[in-house]
Chains A and B, each alone.
Chain A
Amino acid sequence: MKDKKKRNIICTIILVIVVIALINFANTNLDAYVVRILNLCAIYTIIGLSMNLINGFTGLFSLGQAGFMAIGAYTVAIFTLPLDMRSTVYYMEPMNAAIANIHLDFVPALILGGIFAGIAAFLIGAPVLRLRGDYLAIATLGFSEIIRILLTNWQSVTNGALGINKIPDNANNMWWSFGISIIVLVLISLLIRSSYGRVFKAIREDDIAAEAMGINLFKHKVMSFVIGGFFAGIGGGLYASLLGTVDPKQFYFTLTYNFLLIIVLGGMGSISGTVIASFIVTGGLEILRGFDEPLVIGGYEISLFRPGFSMVIFSVLLMVIVLFYRKGLMGRTELSWDRLFNFFAKIKAKFSPKTAKEGGAK
């Protein structure tokens, strides 16, 4: 038992060192395109985790992630935009005087974006979280549309449909995106293991029973929703900084479906599943993008490959997972060293039948 614990700690330390070394290596040696994709993976992990906290761990079927992201993204975009560039970006209508001269550094802007998203989550959550399952889905989806419509029409603050470009490039550095996503990962893991996390799971399993046990349903649902909104806002801020440009069309509610696929693939209620799935889905989408280009083999153009094909595959994938692998990769379990070593031991046993038998005889 003690040996195992020791082994696990050593493994964790090695993993941390390897991850840091890999980030360091990737940051300096890989080309910009790959670094960008990896950063996107890390950012999607943050938002996937925030959505899994709400949907997977608390059992609230929310589709508002794109709205929270949009709030975080626009906050970062507006406040980090250098003062001297503002008049060229806001050329249709000058920026609202109240915010025109406020400039924040990246980190305060990011946190502010998270806080704004959290406040929005509270404002929408307080009335809507009394609803059950599918009503909540529609109401949160409606909320994310309201945000998008607001962004399109609030010309003097958000620059309307033109969006904001020339956002300073902060997140396109692996230390930022991976660093923040690891912090978020640790925070959410700690939250899930705390007494609050157990309350969230109790609500997910049976909210009526949870209420009968004396849990304040409303308080905890709102809490999970606000924390989820906060992290989605942080993720959105990083996203804006990575892309360098935001406009309302990016935050169409179908963006939420990316994260839905991530948490369904990873397993609703599994942190490690979400991390794995974020990388698979984001990387997969990048690879699938190749299918949108016309493919010519031996002078024949294969008409299967044309714009839109990648999204067809994406949606078929979502359907296949939910129809045939409802639990996703991890179900509700987490990846742990014990599990990993047991898994390897099993494989080892499979390939050496003799030792397996002997072990059984003892």
Chain B
Amino acid sequence: MTLELFLQNLANAIAVGSLYALIAVGYTMVYGILRLINFAHGDIFMMAAYFTVFGIVDFHLPWYFACIFVIVLTAGLGMLIERVAYRPLRDAPKDSILVSAIGVSFLLENLANYLFSGKPKAFPDFLGLMSTVSFGSVTIQKVSLVVPFVLIICISILLFIINKTKLGMAMRAVSKDYEIARVMGININFVIAATFGIGSSLAAIGVILWGMKYPQVSPLMGVMPGLKCFVAAVIGGIGNIKGAVLGGFILGLIEVMLVAFLQPLTGYRDAFAFILLILVLLVKPTGLIGEQITEKV
């Protein structure tokens, strides 16, 4: 193995890890508040990719406007899903909500397949980030250089919202104890909707950059990233934003490096995440930096 090859893969791993982190944060936020795996998150991500394609290719929006269009639309979709599929079941048994989440995910996939056809569409290079730059003999895609900075900016804004604003305080209260928060006069529905909106808009930002790296849009494109990012969130400790970022990086690093240096395992790439998940759950079920949850009777 040469140093160049290593550096190249490292850059790739950091980029993939950052993307995983962006999506994993969406999972972890929803889980933190509702204790629900938002199965539809990966499919919201997929829909955002279609929104981007339509915004750029069909409506010819300028890039900055397209970004806002996609983020707002995706946030809206996330809130709509929460309103239609999760809110009516707020007091229902856990299993029903889980089935509902699976139903939404399946519906979005089938709807995309029906409306936009199963044929993959090309993701437009509207930010000019698909081309590569060379540092000596190391060639890196431009998007790989941008992604970590976007991640840092997004997470900073997010942490600011959560720690410094009134909405963030309400979010923390709801995630700590949902019933008490309601009794204290917090508008639970608003807080939950806002959480879905923020999580979904992070998925939208994620997909704009993801599309630059993997420029193919298809109805099932969200499934694997969705599942893997959930795994990333669990590895870091679900419900914890820093944990999600950490988990995303760990997963990205392991995946890219294993494929790069153990070529025969390439076919098993998608299985790593799940094997890792089972291992982590065995050794440290609350994740690397998750809080200990005591079982309440």
Contact = CB atoms under 8 A, between A and B. Distances in A.
A134 B274 contact: no
Contacts of B278: 124, 127-128, 139, 142-143
Interface stretch (A45-53, A87-95, A307-315, A333-341): A307-315
Greatest chain A CB density within 10 A among B99, B268, B270, B285 is at B99
| Interface SS of chain A | helix
B103 interface: yes
Interface in B76-117: 85, 88-89, 92, 94-96, 98-100, 102-104, 106-107, 109-111, 113-114, 117
B258 interface: no
A316 B84 CA distance: 12
B227 interface: yes
B253 to A, nearest CB: 19
B260 interface: no
B100 A138 contact: no
A335 B180 CA distance: 42
A319 B100 contact: yes
B234 A326 contact: no
Contact of B98 (A137, A150, A312): A137
Nearest to A141: B227
Contact of B273 (A137, A142, A264): A142
A138 B96 contact: no
A17 B94 CA distance: 42
A121 to B, nearest CB: 14
Interface in A150-193: 150, 152-153
B7 interface: no
B275 interface: yes
B230 interface: yes
A285 to B, nearest CB: 13
Contacts of B92: 326
Contact of A315 (B37, B106, B230, B282): B106
A307 B219 CA distance: 14
A180 B231 CA distance: 38
Contact of A149 (B102, B114, B118, B270): B270
A61 B98 contact: yes
B274 A145 contact: yes
Nearest to A264: B99
A135 B297 CA distance: 19
B143 interface: no
A315 B227 contact: no
B267 interface: yes
Give the interface size bracket for A toward B.
35 or more
Contacts of A150: 268, 271
A260 interface: yes
Contact of B85 (A130, A139, A323): A323
A131 B98 contact: no
Interface string A197-241: 000000000001000000000000000000000000000000000
Contacts of B250: none
A349 interface: no
Contact of B99 (A127, A128, A152, A322): A322
A342 interface: no
A146 B37 contact: no
B221 interface: no
B58 interface: no
A264 B92 CA distance: 14
A153 B267 contact: yes
B295 interface: yes
A131 B231 contact: no
Contact of B114 (A55, A264, A311, A319): A311
B281 interface: yes
Contacts of A318: 99, 102-103, 106-107
B234 A135 contact: yes
15 contacts: A61-B94, A127-B282, A131-B281, A134-B35, A135-B285, A150-B271, A208-B295, A254-B106, A254-B109, A308-B117, A312-B110, A312-B114, A314-B110, A318-B102, A318-B106
Interface of B: 35-37, 85, 88-89, 92, 94-96, 98-100, 102-104, 106-107, 109-111, 113-114, 117-118, 227, 230-231, 234, 267-268, 270-271, 273-275, 277-278, 281-282, 285, 295, 297
